[in-house]
Amino acid sequence: MKELYIGAAYYPELWDESEIDRDIEQMKAHGMNVMRIGEFAWSKMEPREGEIDMSFFRRVMDKLYENGIYTILCTPSCTPPRWLFEKYPDALRVICNGTYSFERQVVHSRCHPCKTSPDVREKNRIIAREMAKALGHHPGLIGWQIDNELFTAWEGCFCDRCQAHFRERLQKKFGTIEALNDAWHMDRWSMEYDSFDKITPPRCGRWDHPSLMIEWVQFQNELLFSYAGDQADSIREYSDAPIGTDMMTNNLISYEKMNKRLDIIQYNHYESREDLWKTPFAYGFLRALKDRPFWVTETMVGWNGSVGAWNGKRPEGTCYMNTVAPIAFGGEMNLYWLFRAHPAGHELGHGAVLSSAGRPYRISQEIKRASDDLARCADLLTGSRANSRIAVHYSSNSYNVFRFEPIRENMDYRSTLIDKFYSKLRHHNPDLIDTGHSLDEYDVVISPFLAYAQENNLKERILAWVENGGRWIVGPMTDILDENSVKHTAAPFSFLEEAAGVYTKYQNPLPCDDLAAKWADGSSCGVSFYADAFEAKDAEVLATYTDCEFDGLAAITRRKVGKGEIILLGAVPDQEALLRLIDIPAVAPASENVTLVRRHGEVNGLIALEMEHKNGYVELDKPYYDILGERVVSGRVELKPYQALFLKEIKE
């Protein structure tokens, strides 16, 4: 990482070209050094089929670069022009419109294209290639963005072509219809298929088989992986700038799989003031995906919205903290949506750096302060990395499984993971990893709610990692389903009982807020949310249920395996219990509202962020240089609401 970037999405095609110079002066006044352009501008690039002209965007890039502002070019495949759909009408997706009916979309906003349409795919490749030929070596170009927020909108496309591809995928996976029926247990309710041709996709509002629903989403996601990858390949013919695609806050479409063919992680988020403290959960996930800093490609300046504004009033300092946090936790860029509010059409209520009249909002003043502060801390931020000895599994497969089979009523996988585990580790700066990620750099791996625990050969890899000295804290609700999202029948788990050395006597997926447990020394051990009750066979009992229906049975066990150990959780431990099991010191003692990250590299340091608009503190075990305060600090250091402390180690 050599430079830090602050900027926004800019749509110069919406304004008279004479406005650009005035906009650039405002960009510079707000400390911005990068803009992303072209995202929805296909009709400006190709107003009629085959008449492609990139000269306008070259002029924009020239002006930006002459003023010290870099460019990210976006492919416009989210919004093809009307002429494309008029000539190729089956390029429009078919959506599910009610329980049994389908409807071919009309052009009304965005995300219209069918992802299997050969005409759409070819036109995407052409426009991406022509952009790269014309602009791919511009000195101001620092990266590419493919499309915009690719996801399975309206649960995907239900056209005949997509349905045929779905059936082909199932046939390739299972081989025979008998194998599919057996894997999904379709004899229940006499639901067996007699051929792949009889399989129809799940439809909105219909109570379809969960395995079918999960397969459909996985199929739609795979289309998006290739949809982005095709455009990336076309760009690479003429440009070597890094390529990514801006993705949304969830892991519904696998970040790990989407970015295998891409170069840089890009992320869009719009947390409310109340949820601002949760954003480092995502940053811990993003930084672990690639061996380079991630980019926040969209976030709000003051508020987001559509035809109206929403997400509430944000106190002074919110925009500042939202800007510095991703870079503190391992990113190198923060971009706002958008630079100048649209004068017409959709999303008139959305906030921006400037109003449609070109005037800044009050909160826009915080951008310059954040930009200046990050520049002052650049040595620390560009000369170090945010890494961790602790990882928590955050699985795309589990995201989809619990979406369709929550097991525990109303369980939202991501929010539950944050609430029950991540929130207790804010002073430990954990990485969040999907199942394909390497385990070698971690001392502790925590795997709660990992429904299918053998994905990506994880069983063999994690058991070998434990043998070599790792501490695996696993459960609850882990290893409970197979690759088809079907429960195991020989035991509640596929391998965890044997690996952990226990027998599972009882299970209770209902709300368990009345649970109680005690450690082996008799002290209280807080547990809640879910309950597996174990009998130890070849394991040490760390905590036992007490004063509840599972009285005397094990709630938490430990089994030594080689140089390491497996700690099995029957329930969710409270913060004190979880930290006892992890047994790794925090970055530093601090108040609950302060989030911490340790930075290692050419320059070492510690960053403390107050993210809840309260007073807070951090306790330092040695003197540090406070870069922004221009002072040496030690011991207890107080933080004001939304204050950031960038602390550099003092070399002896």
pLDDT at 249 over 60: yes
Which of 206-215, 304-313, 640-649 shows the highest mean pLDDT?
640-649
Q: Quick one: pLDDT band at residue 201, thresholds 50, 70, 90?
A: very high
The structure tokens listed for 219 are: 């199929």
Contact 642, 614 (CB under 8 A): no
> By mean pLDDT, which of 12-21, 90-99, 229-238, 286-295 is the weakest?
90-99
Please report the sign of the dihedral spanned by the C-alpha atoms of residue 597, residue 598, residue 599, residue 600: negative
The structure tokens listed for 458 are: 């994880």
Start-to-end CA span in the chain (Å):
26
pLDDT at 511 over 90: no
Average pLDDT in the 139-149 region?
A: 98
CB neighbours (10 Å) of residue 445?
Answer: 22
Q: Which CATH class is domain 594-649?
A: mainly beta
pLDDT at 296 over 60: yes
pLDDT at 257 over 80: yes
Contact 108, 188 (CB under 8 A): no
DSSP strands (E only) in 97-203 = 102-104, 141-145
Q: Quick one: pLDDT band at residue 139, thresholds 50, 70, 90?
A: very high
pLDDT of residue 100: 66
Q: Which residues contact 598 (CB under 8 A, 6 or more apart)?
A: 386, 387, 429, 587, 605, 606
The structure tokens listed for 146 are: 């493919």
Beta-strand pair 34-37/5-9: parallel
pLDDT, averaged across the chain: 95
Residue 24 identity: I
For the chain, percent of residues with pLDDT exceeding 90 = 89
Task: Tell me the pTM.
Answer: 0.96
Higher-pLDDT residue of 96 and 296 is 296
Give the residue among 449, 445, 383 at the shortest CA–CA distance from 584. 445
Per CATH, the architecture of 390-582 is what?
3-Layer(aba) Sandwich (3.40)
The structure tokens listed for 293 are: 């800093």
pLDDT at 260 over 60: yes
Contact 488, 494 (CB under 8 A): yes
Burial 82-101 (b: 16+ CB within 10 A, else e): eebbeebebbbbbbbeeeee
pLDDT tens for residues 560-603? Answer: 999 999 999 999 999 999 999 999 999 999 999 999 999 999 99
pLDDT at 323 over 90: yes
The DSSP letter of residue 650 is P
Q: Quick one: pLDDT band at residue 232, thresholds 50, 70, 90?
A: very high
pLDDT tens for residues 514-537? Answer: 899 999 999 999 999 999 999 999
Residue 395 CA: distances (Å) to CA of 57, 263, 389, 401, 612: 39, 21, 19, 10, 27
Q: Quick one: pLDDT band at residue 1, thresholds 50, 70, 90?
A: very low
Higher-pLDDT residue of 95 and 638 is 638
pLDDT at 496 over 80: yes
Report the alpha-carbon distance of residue 94 to residue 200 in Å, rounded. Answer: 14
Task: With both helix axes pointing from N to C terminus, report the angle between 160-174 and 177-184 in degrees, rounded to the nearest 10.
Answer: 80
* Cα–chain center distance at 458: 21
| Greatest extent of the chain over all pairs of C-alpha atoms, in Å | 78
For the chain, percent of residues with pLDDT exceeding 70 = 99
Q: Quick one: pLDDT band at residue 225, thresholds 50, 70, 90?
A: very high
CB neighbours (10 Å) of residue 51?
Answer: 8
pLDDT tens for residues 84-95? Answer: 999 999 999 998
By three-state DSSP, how is residue 180 classified?
A: helix
pLDDT of residue 414: 97
CATH of 5-89+109-153+221-382, one of 3.40.630.30, 1.20.910.10, 1.20.950.20, 3.20.20.80: 3.20.20.80
> By mean pLDDT, which of 75-79, 153-157, 489-493, 574-578 is the weakest?
153-157
By three-state DSSP, how is residue 605 classified?
A: strand
Give the residue among 245, 349, 300, 332 at the shortest CA–CA distance from 8. 300
- Domain residue spans of the chain: 5-89+109-153+221-382, 390-582, 594-649
pLDDT of residue 311: 80
pLDDT at 99 over 70: no
